[in-house]
Amino acid sequence: MNCIIVDDDLFYCKTLQSFCERLDLNLLGVFSDPVKAMGILSEREDIDLVFLDIHMPDISGFDILKSNPKLNVVISTMDETKAIEAFDYNVVDYLLKPVTLDRFIRAVNRAKERLSGNGNSASYKETPAPNASDNTNPKEIYVNVNKRLVKIELDNIYIIEAKGDYILIKLIEGKNQVVHTTLKSIMSKLPENIFVRVHRSNVVNIKKIVDIEDSSILINKEVVSISKTYRENLLSKLNLIN
């Protein structure tokens, strides 16, 4: 299996390189500079697998994924908050640093399965990896709850609240969900004409609003405050008769 490593951190380049050698993978190159990696990715078509970091200077791992939607990629990062976004690009696996050899082997096995056609690559090869920003009207969202990807219908959400490292997704029906991510991150996945920030800690589904007062909103029998900063934006999204 031909592979390359793209990581600006020398320590992890060495780590992944030693893992590749142990598994007899054919390592074509190790790139601490993502720009150079983009170069080789555009030149060669025989790269089976890329071990890719997310946070790098100038170009992020996601930029590489966007430009190369057909690549088989194993993400290797210390950022646990980007997993859902990464799986939107149909990555093979998502490894958290520091990566262990056992976990690396499992990721390579998944890649082998996909390359041999036994993995979930069929639909992937036929259609490019979905890009959240292209998907303007999603009906649902998948969130990672205790290592399970749980589907939530967007129409069932009425408020999303920031809770430190987590968000609380309040649902009209069913149990509310606590997810390890940020408001900013989940908002990038939601239709911006429907989900609107009304406070530093709150996003509301405007379809569920009952009424709006000066500094508060009644939504699904719950009152939430609107801060001045976000009020104008909220009003601009509503179908107002002046």
Q: Is residue 97 near other proteins by the rule CB under 8 A?
A: yes
Considering only residues 15, 72, 121, 181, which one is a binding residue for other proteins as defined by CB under 8 A? 15
Q: Considering the rule CB under 8 A, would residue 11 count as an interface residue with other proteins? A: yes
| Dihedrals phi, psi of 98, to nearest 5 degrees | -75, 130
Q: Does 10 bind other proteins (CB under 8 A)?
A: yes
The footprint of other proteins on residues 114-173 (CB under 8 A) is 163-166
The four Cα atoms 99, 61, 56, 30 give a dihedral, to 10 degrees, of: 60
**24 φψ region: left (φ > 0), alpha (ψ -120 to 50), beta (else):** left
CB of 19 to other proteins, least distance (A): 7
Residue 129 CB, nearest approach to other proteins (Å): 25
| Among 3, 4, 5, 19, contact with other proteins (rule: CB under 8 A) | 19
Q: Using CB under 8 A, which of 28, 55, 142, 156 touches other proteins?
A: 55
CB nearer to other proteins: give 97 or 130: 97
Q: Which is nearer to other proteins, 14 or 207 (CB)?
A: 14
Q: Kindly state the tokens that stand for 173.
A: 């029906």
User: Is the CB of 89 or the CB of 104 nearer to other proteins?
Assistant: 104
| 3-class secondary structure, 219 | strand
| Among the listed residues 190, 200, 80, 228, the one whose alpha carbon sits nearest the alpha carbon of residue 144 | 80
Q: 46, 57, 211, 232: which one contacts other proteins (CB under 8 A)?
A: 57
Closest CB to other proteins among residues 13, 234: 13
Q: How far apart are CA 23 and CA 200, in angstroms?
A: 48
Nearer to other proteins, 118 or 188 (CB): 188
- CB distance 33 to 8 below 8 Å: yes
Give Dmax (Cα) for the chain.
70
Alpha carbon 188 to chain centroid, angstroms: 9
**Tokens 């009304």 correspond to what residue?**
198
Alpha-helix runs per DSSP H in the chain: 10-22, 34-43, 61-67, 83-88, 101-115, 121-126, 183-187, 228-237
Contact positions with other proteins (CB under 8 A) in 177-216 = 178
Q: Closest distance between other proteins and the C-beta of residue 126, in Å? A: 36
Smaller CB separation from other proteins, 97 or 231: 97
Is residue 98 within the footprint of other proteins (CB under 8 A)? yes
Q: Classify the C-alpha dihedral 111-97-27-32 as positive or negative.
A: positive
User: Closer to other proteins at the Cβ: 41 or 179?
Assistant: 179
- Note the residues at the interface with other proteins (CB under 8 A): 8-11, 14-15, 18-19, 55, 57, 78, 97-98, 100-101, 163-166, 178
